[in-house]
Amino acid sequence: MVNLEELKENAKELLKQEKVKYIIGYKRGTNGLMPVPAFIKKPEDVENLIWDPLCIYNLTRFLVDEKRKKAKQKNPDERPVGLIVKGCDSRAVNVLLQEKFINREDIYIIGISCENTGVVDEKKLVKKLKGKKVKKIEFGKKNGFIVSTEDGQVEVPSSEILAERCQECIAHFPVVYDVLLGEKPKRKPDNPFKSLEKMESLSREERWTFWKEQLDKCIRCYACRSTCPMCYCDECVVDTINFAVTADTTAEEKAQKIKWVEKSPVLSENFVYHFIRAIHLAGRCIDCGECERVCPLDIPLRFLNKKLEKEAKELFGYDVGFDPDRPSLVSCFKEEDPEDFIR
């Protein structure tokens, strides 16, 4: 079990010795039980840190923001940033390291093991409790959660409220860390791509109907892009915000600016956007499920990324986010890569 006191003690030490600039972790939000990201700068503030099954967010995204912020500063603070990561988040860190987006010495990783469970799916939890207010939720001794409501404690088996991605998780403990809290459990899911099975068993027409319906809903708020730790391109293909229009930009230059995707939220354009996002995340997505969680229209975006993760594994034997020294999926090849689809 992860000892919260140990976590706080560790964080306090780091801040006292001024080893880190600040620590990114979780704290209790003001609205109900859901945690919010916490940026702890003073040793006395570590008391705010929490760790419970509701800490679902992937905090790695803040490393991207931190790098951008640092690039703008004249005399940046060169100390590393402390970051609290779960197993999945640590793989995201690995991908960023692999792509040389961040340097290892710029981060101090406090790893937390999810041990026997994972994090809960808030929607499933609300459904399960039928509107009852949750006072507290803890990891159970065995495979489950202890949920305290107004009516007392209940033990809920993890299969009922565990997030779908956690059921398919292949790294329950951080794969890269400076300090690890909790133990390294040895367990593997029976099938890491179980959620895809249902979709793959549908016929082609049914799949098309499904995705047509789903992607038609998209309002192009780009929340999926904003929350993704891997979506860090300075200029995204879908919007041209960085296209500098100066006094000497001619009308011709403006007209010739390539517009790959229209901004209108219509099916054909949504399609290109989500497809290209999925392709960009091939071999990089570590399945933290943030895109799906933040989607205001509940589009099952995770499936697209999961499918590519599966293909990367099956066609090319590539595991995402385990080895930062390996070349990334599309920047390497093998002689024996499949080519049966090529004439």
User: Interface residues with another protein (CB under 8 A)?
Assistant: 199-200, 204-211, 237, 260-262, 264, 266-269, 271-272, 275-276, 278-279, 282, 304, 307-308, 311-312, 315-316, 329-331, 333, 335, 337-339, 341-343
CB of 309 to another protein, least distance (A): 11
Q: Is the CB of 153 or the CB of 191 nearer to another protein?
A: 191
d(CA 268, CA 274): 10
Lay out the sheet containing 152-157: strands in order across: 134-139, 144-149, 152-157
Q: What is the DSSP string of 72-102?
A: H-SS---SPEEEEE-HHHHHHHHHHHHTTSS
Strands 144-149 and 35-40: unpaired
Q: Is the CB of 62 or the CB of 193 nearer to another protein?
A: 193
Q: Is the CB of 34 or the CB of 199 nearer to another protein?
A: 199
Tokens of 251: 């009308």
d(CA 341, CA 333): 16
Q: Is the CB of 34 or the CB of 237 nearer to another protein?
A: 237
The set of residues, in sequence order, having a beta carbon less than 8 Å from that of 45 and lying 6+ positions away, is 38
Q: Is the CB of 11 or the CB of 304 nearer to another protein?
A: 304
CB of 261 to another protein, least distance (A): 8
Q: List the alpha helices (DSSP H) in 49-176.
A: 61-72, 87-98, 122-129, 158-161, 164-167
CB of 220 to another protein, least distance (A): 13
CB of 211 to another protein, least distance (A): 4
CB of 311 to another protein, least distance (A): 5
